[in-house]
């Protein structure tokens, strides 16, 4: 029988993603935007995700990214609610727990060692059953699994059932995730390397969010075929950017950070710099209005002690559809990346939205992937996150320019078109077709 000439354009892809609308946070956008644009590229797309996500944030505005009629299969996890997980994690971190606290600490510690590679492994029973049912009915030509959480990669051995191909997507690095992120026990670090080696060997294609992630995988797992490990960055969607920049306040200088504050994005150096500025030039520093939008994990809360008196405000999580106005309405937007091992291979997804917004940007980052990105695309000022004196001097000069009405309120990064989510979906579509072709071959 002749091969159907439309077969490639009619590729059927299943995206597996625990963080998916209405889950909130930066990790959602990569797959949500992919699902938005893949159908335009001839890829029939369905989604497998969690029905009752145990997450800190929900953001129902993200549902606007989903195309009408897309099939979304939601199955239950056995995880407890996030509040219970967070309480257990906080108990683990407590220096002086009481008797009852010590008991809960012991129980939660044991649970963390058993829930390998992460607590979302409790989603696996339902996810495995749902995926097996689809594959036995030959509903999908290729399965794309995006982590974290990396327990989703445990679906990998099942994916070739019925002849489907498998793509594993690294939004973050598993090697960093298992040693750095909240709620992770020592068991994840002990088992993780061998488990990861086994699972990546099942993939027909692997995609990574940074070139440094890609190279690190190839260095750690030499058996991987470099031609099938593909770098596809995060990006921006023009619909998430204000068509016109609004007028800015003239009585205060607004510095904004939007995103989660945790170990990898610690603001300690910035807050220390702001304290220095207030001590050295209090009248100038009073012009500064610093706004943090997003979740601050408990371990980083101490860094903000006394900062309200310095004009620093923690304003909580803002739905994604409202963030664009906040960033467009700021004199200066901030990218944070702490000097933590592994961060030299990272750049936050928010960096790409800031490229497209058109306001000046300050990036606090160690040498590595983010600093290279900022330099290459002329994204704005770049300083080390620990350089309190340098950050204070930069802010002082920006405030003087603002006071004297000579501050440049707009900025334009260069060569950013490659990062539009539609263009990136094209790269994913090519990777999906490569995987399907490799599996057929």
pLDDT at 96 over 60: no
The mean pLDDT value for 343-360 works out to 94
pLDDT for the residue 175: 85
Contacts of 146 (CB under 8 A, 6+ apart): 15, 16, 17, 30, 31, 152, 169, 171
pLDDT for the residue 91: 59
3-class state of residue 290 by DSSP: strand
Strands 288-293 and 205-208, by their bridges, are: unpaired
Query: In terms of pLDDT, which residue wins out, 183 or 234?
Result: 234
pLDDT at 169 over 50: yes
User: With pLDDT > 90 as the criterion, what percentage of the chain qualifies?
Assistant: 79
Question: Could you tell me if 249 and 321 lie in one domain?
Answer: yes
Question: Could you tell me if 227 and 115 lie in one domain?
Answer: yes
Q: Where are the beta strands (DSSP E) in 136-284?
A: 142-147, 165-170, 205-208, 229-231, 253-258
Question: Could you tell me if 242 and 218 lie in one domain?
Answer: no
pLDDT at 8 over 60: no
pLDDT for the residue 106: 46
Q: Please, what is the average pLDDT of the chain?
A: 90
Q: Tell whether 380 is covered by a domain.
A: yes
- Alpha carbons 342 and 344: distance in angstroms, whole number: 5
Question: Could you tell me if 191 and 338 lie in one domain?
Answer: no
Contacts of 425 (CB under 8 A, 6+ apart): 33, 34, 36, 37, 38, 40, 41
pLDDT for the residue 117: 87
Question: Could you tell me if 219 and 243 lie in one domain?
Answer: no
User: With pLDDT > 70 as the criterion, what percentage of the chain qualifies?
Assistant: 88
Q: Tell whether 409 is covered by a domain.
A: no
pLDDT for the residue 84: 74
3-class state of residue 158 by DSSP: helix
The mean pLDDT value for 4-17 works out to 73
Phi, psi of 121 (to 5 degrees): -60, -20
Q: Tell whether 4 is covered by a domain.
A: no
Q: Tell whether 412 is covered by a domain.
A: no
Strands 312-314 and 332-336, by their bridges, are: unpaired
Q: Tell whether 5 is covered by a domain.
A: no
Question: Could you tell me if 255 and 175 lie in one domain?
Answer: no
Domain hosting 148: range is 11-235+420-440
Query: Tokens standing for 162?
Result: 């019925």
Question: Could you tell me if 167 and 293 lie in one domain?
Answer: no
Question: For residue range 20-76, what is the model confidence (pLDDT) as tens digits?
Answer: 999 998 889 999 999 999 999 999 999 999 999 999 899 999 999 999 999 999 999
Question: Which 8-state DSSP code applies to residue 9?
Answer: T
- Alpha carbons 20 and 28: distance in angstroms, whole number: 5
Q: In which order are the strands placed within the sheet that holds 332-336?
A: 312-314, 288-293, 253-258, 332-336, 361-364, 381-383
Question: Could you tell me if 170 and 256 lie in one domain?
Answer: no
pLDDT for the residue 429: 98
Place of tokens 């995206």: 15
Contact status, residue 221 vs residue 197, Cβ threshold 8 Å: yes
Question: Which 8-state DSSP code applies to residue 89?
Answer: H
Question: Could you tell me if 87 and 132 lie in one domain?
Answer: yes
pLDDT at 112 over 60: no
Question: Could you tell me if 285 and 209 lie in one domain?
Answer: no
pLDDT for the residue 144: 98
- Alpha carbons 19 and 177: distance in angstroms, whole number: 15
- Alpha carbons 292 and 286: distance in angstroms, whole number: 17
The mean pLDDT value for 393-407 works out to 98
Question: How would you class 320 by CB atoms within 10 Å of its CB: exposed for 0-12, middle for 13-18, buried for 19 or more?
Answer: buried
Contact status, residue 25 vs residue 57, Cβ threshold 8 Å: yes
pLDDT at 113 over 60: no
Question: Could you tell me if 139 and 275 lie in one domain?
Answer: no
The mean pLDDT value for 384-407 works out to 98
pLDDT at 1 over 60: no
383 forms beta bridges with 364
Question: Could you tell me if 244 and 259 lie in one domain?
Answer: yes
pLDDT for the residue 6: 41
Contacts of 107 (CB under 8 A, 6+ apart): 88
Residue 65: give its domain's CATH number: 3.40.50.2000
3-class state of residue 45 by DSSP: strand
Q: How many domains does the chain have?
A: 2
The mean pLDDT value for 147-165 works out to 95
Q: Tell whether 52 is covered by a domain.
A: yes
pLDDT at 368 over 90: yes
Q: Tell whether 2 is covered by a domain.
A: no
Among candidate residues 382, 311, 312, 387, the one with its CA nearest the CA of residue 347: 382
Q: Give the range among 1-15, 119-133, 284-298, 383-397 with minimum mean pLDDT.
A: 1-15
Question: For residue range 116-155, what is the model confidence (pLDDT) as tens digits?
Answer: 788 899 999 999 999 999 999 999 999 999 999 999 999 9
- Alpha carbons 144 and 15: distance in angstroms, whole number: 5
Q: Tell whether 392 is covered by a domain.
A: yes
Sign of CA dihedral 92, 95, 98, 103: positive
- Furthest CA-CA distance within the chain: 81
Question: Counting runs of H as helices and runs of E as strands, what totals does the chain give?
Answer: 14, 13
Distances (CA, A) of 218 to 148, 155, 178, 194: 19, 22, 19, 15
Q: Give the range among 81-90, 248-257, 288-297, 313-322 with minimum mean pLDDT.
A: 81-90
């Amino acid at each position: 029988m002749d091969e159907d000439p439309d077969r490639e354009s009619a590729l059927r892809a299943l995206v597996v993603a625990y963080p998916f609308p209405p889950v909130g946070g930066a990790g959602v956008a990569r797959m949500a935007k992919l699902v938005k644009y893949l159908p335009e590229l001839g890829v029939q797309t369905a989604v497998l995700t969690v029905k009752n996500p145990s997450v800190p944030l929900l953001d129902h505005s993200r549902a606007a990214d989903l195309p009408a009629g897309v099939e979304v299969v939601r199955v239950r996890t056995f995880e407890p609610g996030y509040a219970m997980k967070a309480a257990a994690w906080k108990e683990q971190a407590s220096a002086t727990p009481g008797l009852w606290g010590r008991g809960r600490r012991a129980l939660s510690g044991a649970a963390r060692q058993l829930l390998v590679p992460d607590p979302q492994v409790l989603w696996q029973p339902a996810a495995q059953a749902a995926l097996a049912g689809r594959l036995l009915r030959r509903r999908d030509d290729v399965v794309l699994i995006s982590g974290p959480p990396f327990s989703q990669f445990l679906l990998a051995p099942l994916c070739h059932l019925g002849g489907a191909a498998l793509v594993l997507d690294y939004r973050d690095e598993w090697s960093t995730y298992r040693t750095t992120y909240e709620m992770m026990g020592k068991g994840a670090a002990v088992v993780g390397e061998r488990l990861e080696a086994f699972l990546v060997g099942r993939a027909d294609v692997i995609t990574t969010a940074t070139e440094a992630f890609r190279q690190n995988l190839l260095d750690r797992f030499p058996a991987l075929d470099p031609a099938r490990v593909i770098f596809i960055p995060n990006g921006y969607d023009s619909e998430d950017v204000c068509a016109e920049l609004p007028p800015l306040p003239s009585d205060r200088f607004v510095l904004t950070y939007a995103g989660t504050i945790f170990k990898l994005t610690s603001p300690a150096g910035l807050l220390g710099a702001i304290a220095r500025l207030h001590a050295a030039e209090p009248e100038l520093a009073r012009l500064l209005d610093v706004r943090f939008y997003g979740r601050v994990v408990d371990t980083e809360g101490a860094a903000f002690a006394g900062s309200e008196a310095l004009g620093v405000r923690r304003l909580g999580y803002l739905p994604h559809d409202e963030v664009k106005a906040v960033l467009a309405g700021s004199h200066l937007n901030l990218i944070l990346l702490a000097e933590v091992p592994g961060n030299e291979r990272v750049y936050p997804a928010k960096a790409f939205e800031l490229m497209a917004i058109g306001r000046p940007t300050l990036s606090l980052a160690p040498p590595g992937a983010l600093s290279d990105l900022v330099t290459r695309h002329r994204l704005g000022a770049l300083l080390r996150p620990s350089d309190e004196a340098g950050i204070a001097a930069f802010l002082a000069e920006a405030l003087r320019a603002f006071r004297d009405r000579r501050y440049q309120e707009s900025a334009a990064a260069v060569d950013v078109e490659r990062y539009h989510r539609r263009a990136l979906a094209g790269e994913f579509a090519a990777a999906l077709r490569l995987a399907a072709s490799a599996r057929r071959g």
